[in-house]
Chain A
């Protein structure tokens, strides 16, 4: 049996090449789609790495207790600051407006946590020592859950926060009175 120029081999090599080409086209199409989605910013990984000391979150810096919650920025966007710890998020009830860029900035005080917000793009990890930052836009008012979705210890199953998405105008009114908002008392 010769390995050169037998018609059977040639034919099968042609079929192989055709399939390999199709496969490469499929794979390239997937990559282009991912890049396209990235360009049109359905959601993007956070731009920069920031570090923070989990031991002193409550003593000084961005994540002290009184600085947590939703803050209306000068440019109209909203920054939500939160801390994850065993076994709750603070603020436990986060209020955000519709139709506004909302950036969540959060970190962990102890172990690895993570959270997702139902019916939204928000899905991120909280690694102690690093600040997570993720931006989204909410379309309609709703009340949804924000569970911790990364194993963080034996109380992990009890770590659920709430998000209240309220009308943009209502949020602006609330923000006029207080610098940091949350819906914890409700």
Chain B
């Protein structure tokens, strides 16, 4: 039973509100740089939009979804009201305030530095301060998650932590540690430069700090979706979770290996040694393991649902699955996109293959497919599943939900597949316009236009999504009952201490951070002569 419905709803509405606006910006960007539009007269507008779109989609949307869903899990899984309600509201307020503080200079064109910050280019300090506020707001959620779990464990000594809460806490801890890299970059390098307190900055060191955050943040984004795979989907489709311990192992593996692999974003950079590039490459290979385990466990869980419905034969159970259930559609679409997106990720992870596509449009296509596709579609599913419990009203427009999910899936495929293709052709990233008349670029024109079409389909999907959610506020009242999670085929009565707590995994995560990042950071900090002049943008006219 959810006690803080308004709190959770507020998180979701803010998340989706930002998302809704940022999506429109994204489609505008796609259109503006396609052959369908003349070269933009003021290219700064494009980069401004990319900054706003990226910041909202990367820092605001997934953070708020993780927080809101996290609070729902804390209450529903631990079956008690949230401890620290006021702090939770304060955290939300901080995230909201930070978003506003950041978005104002961006909208005015004072901080078109893109969401990856790009020192030595430095924009208006309030953009960065706003981002820091968002992160601090989310750290309040982390603290509350840990506190609530701790209180429950104290009151339930020796009992297995419910899987949903275990995963939720793992995600929170991962986020807390991974955000430290960007926080150090912002607090000690960029904000002092933006405030004019320093006039030089070590761009190489800043990029290393940012890489600390940059990869693991996508696992932070992924946690709500994976939690939904394990704890919502099997229940929603009438099945059972195939294995509880395997689930815990997957989440624990993410906690350990997601973070100390960020240097694979710096393969082509000159400030990191080749040995560390290989080390990070090897550990990046490891992080595909929990996803592979997840794919297996979830497919098995779905198969259970199929068999329980009378499915027979090696694949016959697929047909009898409840395809009219939006959750079923969502997980199927998510897995298809996860398959393609994950394969793309395997290519990115090796230095040699990455050399073909680094900083081409392949990379952008990849993360739109895996995050915007596989993950965000599960955010929709989570919203659909939670909505009746939050609003106290039924969600009845199943056809609309299915149409929304279908259009999101189709739109994502049409958007991202041609996008990957032009990346292979060598189309560089982040340009406000391209000359498609040249034979070297002419081959890319058709694909880019297809992506524009895909984006338009996503806009339609977004409209459907809001329609469903808004109708959900107006539907007749209904008693949603207790919010339940999926049940494992073999519910654990006791769980090994390693899988019931985080001490071991967090220690390994910290240890690996030292091994993988310690020397590169220390050594760059010790170099005297690598700080370069700060280039302020958005200023002089």
Contacts and interface: CB of A to CB of B under 8 A. Distances in A.
B359 A149 contact: yes
Given A37-B350, A51-B529, A123-B359, A112 B120 contact: yes
Contacts of A155: 43
List 10 tightest A-B contacts by C-beta distance, closest first: A149-B428, A157-B431, A149-B359, A23-B292, A129-B530, A34-B350, A130-B270, A132-B270, A128-B532, A45-B274
A156 B440 contact: no
Interface stretch (B65-73, B281-289, B455-463): B281-289
Contacts of A37: 350, 352-353
A107 B43 CA distance: 25
Nearest to B40: A157
Interface residues of A, number: 67
B178 interface: no
A128 B292 CA distance: 39
B289 A127 contact: no
Contacts of A66: none
A61 interface: no
Given A8-B489, A49-B273, A154-B47, A30 B359 contact: no
Contacts of B356: 121, 123
Interface residues of B, number: 73
Contact of B292 (A6, A27, A48, A50): A27
A148 to B, nearest CB: 7
Interface of A: 1, 3, 6, 8-9, 12, 15-16, 19-20, 23-24, 26-28, 30-31, 33-35, 37-38, 42-51, 53-55, 110-112, 114, 116, 118-119, 121, 123-133, 144-145, 147-157
Contacts of A3: 490, 492-494
Contacts of A19: 292-293, 296
Nearest to B48: A154
B531 interface: yes
A141 to B, nearest CB: 16
A157 to B, nearest CB: 4
Contacts of A28: 285
A172 B209 CA distance: 45
Among B271, B353, B489, residue most surrounded by chain A Cβ atoms (within 10 Å): B271
Contact of B350 (A12, A30, A145, A153): A30
Nearest to B426: A118
A111 B533 CA distance: 9
